């Protein structure tokens, strides 16, 4: 890369999972309007054809209405070619296919275990981690070989375990993970403040929040807006909407919730849970929010069926085809993602503060060191420094430490390709409320269903 | 007190709860054969008559067959008289009566919550703590006033919370708590070793154990006997008796178990749980071992009904009468308790190492500082120094940290006489698997039942 | 205060030490151009007349050329009046007079101990702390009484001990200390980069620095500018100017140095010392840089004589008179101070990151908790959150831990008004290279010289 | 080894440095009276002939008057033969010859640096460490290969750095280091108690002590004997003998001291320094006790000249010859060493508590983890568990942390064979009060003098 008066040019970004039909297009859009930086984006994907399609689509963004800079997109056949010389690496892969995810999410239902997402924790998240971590290790070793000084941004789930595996494999890596779940809660808080005070808050970033926890199970211990008592405002809001929930924008959404789980957790602990209800529920006792579909419905959220994801993929594939062939024009849109803002900050082009996933060095003093946690961090010229977030509050602490402990056990089990250890974490999961022999039966069934991606565990 | 060539004379021991018809007699027996120490035992009890009876009984021990030293027992009307000049203080009280305990243990059954003991954790343990801690505070303040340098030995449950309250109230106190639950597990390990190797182990202390955890939820991370692989031996033993359990000595006992919970926990975590099954079960998810009486029976332990305790008390009262009037002779017996051995070590009359409950100063590095934990400690001439016990192992850690977190919350709630905060801990308990409004209903009912002892919470 | 579309109005700032003829005028200048905030500044000083003069001078700033907002200055007879309703409190006092400082700095010279500043550490800093801390305690108690939620900014030295005393006295205080010593080192690094690369760096903030240490003995463990290897550049720069030093801007300055101490420390430890050489030398063995005036001259810095300060004060008094009477016009100038930027950030009017002095919560994991340390912190809407700074590097660690240990001992000695304990810290100071009886003689002499302000130690 | 009713037989002990003409004979004597254990001692030494001589001498102990058990001594040509099958390994080597030690101790004198011992810290200790650590690494790797489960007892100096190197090289090693410096201070305290109270204390172990620090710079934070206020007694004792010192038993001893350094340190910090004055002085500023021989004499201790050691070696060689040839009979004597007692405890034949050197796991919470520290530990059946010792007290802390920091730097420098890093530690040593270029000159000279053993640093 090369610094100029204007900014930075000749930047090289490597995108692992570059055949993506979602995140990749958002990045293209954001890069197209990042006026002061330009360069090359190398796309690597095990589906080389998909990467080639994105090469074509990406290059079209240079001519899109509103584009302020130029980027050259290039599909690469090997990860080595993609990574060589990279200043930044983006990792956004689907570990396995939606068939494996189908097993992750839906096999446990036979045993009375319901997962709204199934990609982070719970039986689904654990088995997903088992097949993802070996892939991440391959990527981490390639980064060590081809671009050890590059900044690495991961979007793959299970987020915390992917970041942990990157650091376990290559301890000097400069990696972090981004997730926008907290943003939506800042918006909810803004809504509460507006409702209570009549203020107009148009930007979620205007609500300052101190974040502690692990990815998808983060908590806001201090929310601030001007000199209001935001905690009190939120408490009243939670009370008011405790039973009714907050009306969803789109009643048919398979992602949105009425925030009732959030309000229940607030009443239990006095702390604002800061992720989507679908994720939050998966970290709690199964009997609290996930006993059955009726209970789930009562709590105002939905389980996202994998069949929906399969349908959605087909639509995105069709759209990819339209974009590639020009039947649909590429368009630049506000994505709300922080990725490009972070890249710019790491280049020294404007400090920023946002929540990230990195190993705990003490930013959360009552969680184990080395566990990947989510807190705010300062992005300033080639550095991501966690902001001291303070301890996880009493009550919440034991929920989060359970998740931290599971992270540690699953990471070790995957690193050592040890299914028996993985099962210990599995049996210990709050959703797996089964006696040991039955739990083992479910575990074995899920492993069998996805064994195509678990061969290293049987060597 | 006064050191002599022989040992120590003119020692003064104050016994708070000195009307006791159990522990007190054991202590009398042990003191009678503690050849090199002698002095006075002052008995204080809110039931002054009971203390007077024990004065009579205690003094009879001086003439019992086998007595090797003399002690003067004296009932005292005020705690100040009892404590003044004391070198040692023993606290062994019943907080409230068995009527309150009846509510603690049995009220939750209406909500499907079954507790085998109900004095440590779970809804019963929490409510018991709420009424016990204000009493302990009174005692701690009296110790600060009358004998601030005395060593204080507590036997009252909930053990951890009583010790915590003693230190919270008077931080310079020299207090520790003793419990023999670990001893029985050393015996079980000895049995496993004998069965596997043909060795004859007659003394549980010959099995060395590293202990970590909180009272009644302790774990042995390293058991050793000679150069055997004791962990492997125990694993085989747990496997062999996983379904059948180990035969109970007394099938009708309301305390004994078949150790199946211990074996299940070993299979789950690979670590030896070191307390009675009745206690262990109360710290786990209610659905694991305590769903209903059938499940409890399957796991090979029993719930101790409070009616049994009431009957037992009557028998002990009758025996007290017999002992006092001489219809039954006092007899010296091997009690297996460590108390007098500890007193002698603190006087410099022989070092000893045993497990105790004291605040965490770092002996368990992955539990919060200040939480009362149970580990081994070295007793050496006026000092109790914890032995570094190492971290609670992964898997077990989240169970123990949940208990530690609850300890912190209940201690704070009681200290601040704050029922709303107490309810937060209550709703968070692994046995209280109820939605918030129902949990509150149960909590309020239990508070109402025992409000005679909770008046300070309503001021 | 009141939020408006434009910013905040009706803000109240209390200035303790408001008769100041230095800092106060800088603040007035900075406030006058802080366009989006306005309100009232209450001036309190034990020299009420000086405060009255500053009231007059301050109000003149409203009409100065370039002023963009209005502030009402008001002298107050009592600290209570000044603090009541304050949103911000500024503390900038001179503890005692320059006669006391004369003793602090120059008495030790009779014993061969030379101090370039004498207000932070060393014999002078310690005795200054003994008389300052009781004054700070009075202020802290007043803040607790009159404006417990105000943000408190301290500029008084010894900085670390003042902040520590504020927190020791009123643990819930929201206080921090600001110091610009690090800024000058960022400028020096910028100079090194410019010299090595030809880049033009006009703003010291463009050099990003990770700061660890204690006030006036801070270290930069990571300096960054774009993608240069700034540490290597600085190493070469230190080597090049090791013997010659960097030419001073003003050869007659009693503050400026040739940075040779900084370069020597860099060669010793490989870390950039980030304070003025006069301060740095005081934290090291006396024989390294402060053996005598010749050695001091060789190292390229100067001792600031208190006689100079007395002269300078006279000049500032004269200027105050001119400003008050209008013989000299008040003028707005760029001060380079961060204070108003921080106030605006705390009001939510733009985040900022800068180095501050606050108690260690873990931002420097290898220094004791509770010790006041200096690191970067994020200022964001009513919060100052330390950025995790990482451990003090090996080698430097023992120097800084010596200073931290001294801080702890002096704070305790002052809090307890205990001269014997203070002497323990004194005898332990790296500059006090005397045998114990001689050290005590010096200590007693310095205490005698300043006893007017130490009466509480003799009660 | 094999457990029997009586104890353990067929034990195998490997002695690295088994040609020793000091420690080895003490061990032989202690083993000969360790009635319940027996077996084989394999002697390995780079001086094979010396090992052969000790084989002959050792076997003679079986017939010595008072021997209660039998041991077979056997010289081995390779370390592998010696270690194979070993249950215990003893390491007691002289790194280099006394010619190298001559340079370590006496070269710095040319620069005004005087070292009473020169084998632990200071310029001599650092250079000694540089040549010792590569030797220790060889031993550690051999232990990993031939007897990874053996217990390893080190007596080689620099103790802390040897233990650190053992763990750095083979983290699973079961090693600890023993040193009797603390014992002599327990005796001194006993003397003070006897003098103050008329008590007769015949056994130093009757004085209980809590030990914190690093080897040869240990501190007793709590000394206890019965219910006396031992700290007060010691304070009076230190005051009384502050100027005169305590009379030496043997005025011509090159080891003994008048304890004046200990008393001065007590007055400085209020804590009992617990090592010989010759060692203590080396950890303090050179100007305190080691300015020149006159000052050393004033403080009542002596420097041990290496010429004395050379003479002493000759005498021991002559004695070895006499013992080997039977001109002098071997005799069993009370050695006061703890080694065999520890071996027995590790076999489960009687618990013991003593001070040992092992890595810090938290037993001293305010020193870095992983640094080798000295505290008490419980030896119980195949385990050495540190007793929680608490923090190093204020004041002393900065002295000990300086030593800990140096340990960390020297260990790293030796591990990486990096002389420049070693020099950073060297220049930082409290005795090396030289400017950087002069310090480097001394360092280079000392390295040159001993380069025969430093060849790996030049590869």
- Give the pLDDT confidence of C119-131 residue by residue, as tens digits: 999 999 999 999 9
Mutate to test the interface with B, among D149, D208, D356 (most CBs of B within 10 A): D208
What ipTM does the predicted assembly reach? 0.94
**pLDDT for residue B345:** 96
Does residue D251 register a pLDDT over 90?
Answer: no
Question: b vs e for C240-252, b when ≥16 Cβ sit within 10 Å of the residue's Cβ?
Answer: ebbeebbebeeee
Confidence of residue C203 (pLDDT cuts 50, 70, 90): confident
Rounded to whole angstroms, the Cα distance separating B165 from B167 reads: 5
Q: In chain D, which residues have their Cβ closer than 8 Å to the Cβ of C270?
A: 424
The answer to the question of residue C251 being in a domain is no
Structural domains of chain D, count: 1
Does residue C428 register a pLDDT over 90?
Answer: yes
Does residue B334 register a pLDDT over 90?
Answer: no
**pLDDT for residue C334:** 86
**pLDDT for residue D334:** 86
Per-residue pLDDT averaged across D138-146, rounded? 98
Torsional sign, CA B248, B251, B257, B261 = positive
Q: What distance in Å separates residue D88's CA from the closest CA in chain B?
A: 13
Local structure of residue A367 (DSSP, 8 states): S
Residue D250, classified by CB atoms within 10 Å of its CB into exposed (0-12), middle (13-18) or buried (19+), is exposed
Q: In chain D, which residues have their Cβ closer than 8 Å to the Cβ of C289?
A: none
In chain C, which residue's Cα lies nearest the Cα of D403? C398
Q: Order across the sheet with D272-273: list the strands.
A: D208-214, D217-224, D272-273
Give the Å distances, CA to CA, from B38 to A298, B231, B344: 69, 43, 11
Q: Which two tokens stand for residue B218?
A: 């302790």
The three state secondary structure string of D194-211 is HHHHCCCCCCHHHCEEEE
Cross-chain CB nearest to C383 (options A208, A226, A351): A208
Are C424 and D269 in contact (CB < 8 Å)?
A: yes
The answer to the question of residue C46 being in a domain is yes
A372's CB contacts (< 8 A; 6+ apart) are A159, A160, A161, A163, A164, A167, A177, A214, A215, A357, A358, A359, A360, A407
C294's CB contacts (< 8 A; 6+ apart) are none
Q: Please answer whether residues C448 and C458 qualify as being in contact, where contact means their C-beta atoms are separated by less than 8 angstroms.
A: no
Concatenated DSSP letters for B27-92?
HHHHHHT-TTEEEEEEEE-SSHHHHHHHHHHHHHGGGSTT--S-EEEEEESSHHHHHTT-SEEEE-
D196 touches chain B (CB under 8 A): no
**pLDDT for residue B338:** 86
Are B385 and D210 in contact (CB < 8 Å)?
A: yes
| A-B contacts (CB, under 8 Å) | 67
**pLDDT for residue D374:** 98
The mean pLDDT value of chain B amounts to: 96
Closest residue by Cα to residue D267 from C191, B128, A383, C423? C423
Rounded to whole angstroms, the Cα distance separating B45 from B92 reads: 10
Distance from the Cα of residue A3 to its chain's centroid: 31
Confidence of residue B436 (pLDDT cuts 50, 70, 90): very high
Per-residue pLDDT averaged across C399-419, rounded? 98
The answer to the question of residue D415 being in a domain is no
Q: How far from each other are the two terminal CA atoms of chain A, in whole angstroms?
A: 43
**pLDDT for residue A382:** 96
Confidence of residue B251 (pLDDT cuts 50, 70, 90): confident
pLDDT per position as a tens digit, C317-344: 999 999 999 999 999 998 888 899 999 9
Pick out chain A residues at pLDDT < 50.
none
Confidence of residue D22 (pLDDT cuts 50, 70, 90): confident
Local structure of residue D47 (DSSP, 8 states): S
Q: Which two tokens stand for residue C160?
A: 């670390």
pLDDT per position as a tens digit, D212-245: 999 999 999 999 999 999 999 999 999 999 999 9
Are B412 and A394 in contact (CB < 8 Å)?
A: yes
Distance from the Cα of residue B321 to its chain's centroid: 27
Rounded to whole angstroms, the Cα distance separating D138 from C129 reads: 53
Q: Please answer whether residues C388 and A385 qualify as being in contact, where contact means their C-beta atoms are separated by less than 8 angstroms.
A: yes
Active site residues of A: 180
Rounded to whole angstroms, the Cα distance separating C143 from C145 reads: 5
C287 touches chain D (CB under 8 A): yes
A394 touches chain B (CB under 8 A): yes
Q: Which two tokens stand for residue B262?
A: 């211990």
Per-residue pLDDT averaged across C151-155, rounded? 97
Cross-chain CB nearest to A363 (options C208, C376, C388): C388
Confidence of residue C163 (pLDDT cuts 50, 70, 90): very high
Active site residues of C: 180
In chain B, which residue's Cα lies nearest the Cα of A406? B395
- In chain B, residues 340-359 whose CB comes closer than 8 Å to chain D: 347-348, 351, 353
Q: What distance in Å separates residue C242's CA from the closest CA in chain A?
A: 29
Closest residue by Cα to residue A353 from C350, C183, C153, C338? C350
Are C378 and A378 in contact (CB < 8 Å)?
A: yes
Torsional sign, CA C200, C205, C206, C211 = positive
Residue B352, classified by CB atoms within 10 Å of its CB into exposed (0-12), middle (13-18) or buried (19+), is middle
Bond into D158 cis (ω within 30): yes
Give the domain CATH number at B100. Answer: 3.90.1820.10
Concatenated DSSP letters for A78-109?
SHHHHHTT-SEEEE---SS-HHHHHHHHHGGG
- The answer for D251, left when phi > 0, alpha when psi is -120 to 50, beta otherwise, is alpha
The answer to the question of residue B389 being in a domain is no
The answer to the question of residue C278 being in a domain is no
Per-residue pLDDT averaged across D112-125, rounded? 98
Mutate to test the interface with B, among D11, D226, D229, D359 (most CBs of B within 10 A): D226
β-bridge mates for residue A262, sequence order: none
Cross-chain CB nearest to D224 (options B225, B362, B381): B381
The answer to the question of residue A21 being in a domain is yes
Q: What distance in Å separates residue C423's CA from the closest CA in chain A?
A: 35
Q: Please answer whether residues B74 and B40 qualify as being in contact, where contact means their C-beta atoms are separated by less than 8 angstroms.
A: yes
Give the Å distances, CA to CA, from A353 to A208, A274, A379, C9, C351: 10, 17, 6, 27, 9
D378 touches chain B (CB under 8 A): yes
pTM recorded for the entire structure: 0.96
Q: Please answer whether residues D387 and B386 qualify as being in contact, where contact means their C-beta atoms are separated by less than 8 angstroms.
A: yes
**pLDDT for residue B147:** 98
The CA angle C357-C358-C361, to the nearest 5 degrees, is 135
**pLDDT for residue C238:** 98
The answer to the question of residue B400 being in a domain is no
Q: Which domain range does residue D127 map to?
A: 2-180+327-346
In chain C, which residue's Cα lies nearest the Cα of A349? C226
The mean pLDDT value of chain D amounts to: 96
The answer to the question of residue D74 being in a domain is yes
Rounded to whole angstroms, the Cα distance separating C120 from A258 reads: 57
Per-residue pLDDT averaged across C216-221, rounded? 98
Are B225 and D381 in contact (CB < 8 Å)?
A: yes
């Amino acid at each position: 890369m090369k610094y100029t008066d204007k900014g930075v040019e000749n930047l090289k970004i490597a995108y692992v999972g570059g055949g993506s039909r979602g995140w990749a297009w958002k990045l293209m859009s954001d890069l197209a309007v990042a006026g002061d930086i330009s360069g090359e984006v190398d796309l690597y994907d095990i589906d080389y054809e998909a990467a080639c399609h994105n090469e074509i689509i990406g290059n079209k963004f240079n001519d899109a209405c509103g584009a302020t800079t130029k980027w050259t997109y290039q599909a690469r056949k090997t990860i080595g070619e993609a990574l060589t010389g990279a200043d930044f690496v983006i990792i956004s892969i689907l570990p396995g296919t939606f068939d494996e995810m189908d097993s992750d999410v839906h096999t446990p239902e036979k045993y009375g275990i319901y997962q709204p997402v199934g990609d982070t924790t719970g039986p689904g998240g654990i088995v997903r981690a088992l097949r993802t971590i070996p892939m991440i290790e391959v990527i981490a070793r390639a980064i060590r070989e081809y671009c050890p000084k590059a900044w690495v941004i991961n979007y793959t789930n299970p987020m915390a375990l992917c970041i942990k595996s990157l650091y376990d494999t290559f301890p000097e890596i400069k990696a972090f993970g981004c997730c926008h779940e907290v943003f939506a809660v800042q918006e909810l808080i803004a809504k509460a403040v507006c409702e209570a005070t009549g203020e107009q808050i148009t930007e979620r970033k205007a609500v300052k929040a101190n974040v502690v926890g692990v990815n998808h199970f983060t908590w806001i211990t201090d929310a601030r807006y001007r000199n209001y008592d935001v905690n009190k405002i939120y408490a009243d809001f939670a009370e008011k909407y405790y039973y009714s929930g907050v009306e969803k924008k789109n009643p048919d959404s398979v992602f949105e919730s009425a925030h009732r789980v959030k309000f229940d957790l607030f009443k239990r602990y006095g702390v604002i849970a800061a992720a989507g209800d679908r994720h939050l529920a998966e970290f709690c006792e199964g009997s609290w929010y996930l006993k059955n579909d009726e209970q789930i419905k009562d709590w105002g959220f939905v389980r996202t069926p994998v069949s929906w994801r399969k349908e959605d993929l087909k639509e995105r594939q069709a759209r990819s085809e339209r974009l590639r062939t020009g039947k649909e024009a590429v368009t630049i849109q506000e994505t709300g993602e922080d990725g490009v803002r972070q890249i710019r900050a790491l280049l020294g082009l404007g400090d920023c503060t946002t929540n990230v996933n990195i190993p705990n060095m003490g930013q959360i003093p009552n969680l184990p060191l080395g566990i990947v946690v989510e807190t705010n961090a300062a992005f300033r010229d080639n550095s991501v420094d966690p902001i001291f977030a303070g301890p996880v509050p009493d009550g919440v602490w034991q929920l989060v430490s359970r998740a931290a402990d599971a992270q540690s056990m699953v990471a070790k089990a995957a690193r050592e390709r040890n299914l028996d250890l993985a099962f210990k974490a599995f049996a210990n999961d709050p959703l797996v409320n089964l006696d040991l022999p039955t739990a083992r039966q479910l575990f074995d069934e899920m492993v069998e269903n996805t064994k195509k991606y678990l061969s290293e565990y049987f060597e």
